[in-house]
A and B are shown apart, each in its own frame.
Chain A
Amino acid sequence: AQKVTQAQTEISVVEKEDVTLDCVYETRDTTYYLFWYKQPPSGELVFLIRRNSFDEQNEISGRYSWNFQKSTSSFNFTITASQVVDSAVYFCALATSGTYKYIFGTGTRLKVLA
């Protein structure tokens, strides 16, 4: 079975705090991709990052960083020095070979307070 779990339903932080969004996935496939998407209040789904199962290097893009650990089946997302504009629902997703679908977690709503 393939599954993505985002246990944090909602997180509130004060501006400039760091925040980590957790993502745990399940799959028996050895080849897969993991993704993060952002859904701001305006409703569109914005792609943030993808990571394949053979690349465990962490990635940093500005204030965003991602930590992929196969040993714990986790792909966590950290926002450093959060800003009000980061307020959104964040989704983690999984795609495996031949399945032609992206399996999404239930999302984490992040509220950044000024």
Chain B
Amino acid sequence: DTAVSQTPKYLVTQMGNDKSIKCEQNLGHDTMYWYKQDSKKFLKIMFSYNNKELIINETVPNRFSPKSPDKAHLNLHINSLELGDSAVYFCASSQEPRYTEAFFGQGTRLTVV
């Protein structure tokens, strides 16, 4: 069983489209995250949720909207995609980060053309 699974793995779409990435974890963790990895491999936090509540929104454009229907799921919807949104998006989960590591999904490579 995959601990943190995200779909799709690859996403190619045109500018202006709307797309979603889904994430599910079966580890029973309270906290879930979205990270963006750019072409230089820099990993930057976008959002974190704890018990379905938004804790961090790290100055992400409001075209990005996370939704957590329950503790095990954290989806990411992106409106009006731009070329600069091309990146790898990672979902992750953990218990409180002060105490334990995050487990990451396999990533979604988003290419906007």
Contacts and interface: CB of A to CB of B under 8 A. Distances in A.
Tell me whether chain A's interface is mostly helix, strand or loop, or mixed.
Answer: strand
Interface residues on A, range: 20 to 34
A44 B48 contact: no
Interface residues of B, number: 28
Nearest to A33: B98
A9 to B, nearest CB: 9
Contacts, number: 66
Given A33-B101, A44-B104, 18 more contacts: A31-B98, A33-B99, A43-B106, A47-B102, A47-B103, A50-B101, A95-B98, A99-B97, A100-B31, A100-B48, A100-B56, A100-B96, A102-B33, A102-B102, A103-B45, A104-B43, A106-B40, A107-B43
5 contacts: A44-B104, A45-B90, A45-B107, A99-B98, A102-B92
